[in-house]
């Protein structure tokens, strides 16, 4: 079994789409082993997205991620990372496949409703950033 990290982003939570996204996650065979709704402060968002700190979108991204609550998740299944990325769809919803979360729910490339780890190394940083081992069941 593999684990991956996911976020239902502020745009989706604000529009009350979390339940629909969670339904899709479970329908795709993922086991939710960790989940909580939190409000990130800007410094916590900056720490999470530190790999993008030199990019021009960094400040806007951190402001967006800290503007309202998010739902952070740890998902488990075989090929969890690749399968979650497929279910999310392309970063730019205009390029996402029909039936993906981003195609169906995203506002635009900046407010694209979901985040997911892109590699095992990323997941190994992202999961403990938000969850202790005791919170994963």
Catalytic residues: 115
Q: Number of C-alpha atoms within 13 angstroms, CB side, residue 131?
A: 26
Distance from the first to the final alpha carbon of the chain: 14
Judging by DSSP bridges, how do beta strands 70-77 and 114-116 pair with one another?
A: unpaired
Instruction: Tell me the three state secondary structure of residue 16.
Output: coil
CA 57: distance to chain centroid?
Answer: 17
Among 120, 34, 106, smallest CA distance to 72 is for: 34
The strands making up 2-8's β-sheet, listed across from edge to edge, are: 31-38, 70-77, 2-8, 114-116
């Amino acid at each position: 079994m593999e684990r991956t990290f996911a976020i239902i982003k502020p745009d989706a939570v604000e529009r009350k789409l979390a339940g629909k996204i969670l339904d899709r996650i479970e329908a795709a065979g993922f086991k939710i082993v960790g989940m909580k709704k939190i409000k990130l402060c800007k410094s916590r968002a900056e720490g999470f997205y530190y790999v993008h700190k030199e990019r021009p979108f960094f400040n806007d991204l951190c402001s967006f991620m800290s503007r309202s609550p998010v739902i952070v998740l740890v998902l488990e299944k075989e090929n969890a990372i690749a399968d979650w990325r497929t279910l999310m769809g392309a970063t730019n919803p205009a390029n996402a496949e029909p039936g993906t979360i981003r195609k169906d729910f995203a506002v635009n490339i900046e407010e694209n409703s979901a985040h997911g780890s892109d590699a095992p190394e990323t997941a190994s940083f992202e999961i403990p950033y938000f969850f202790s081992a005791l919170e994963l069941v």
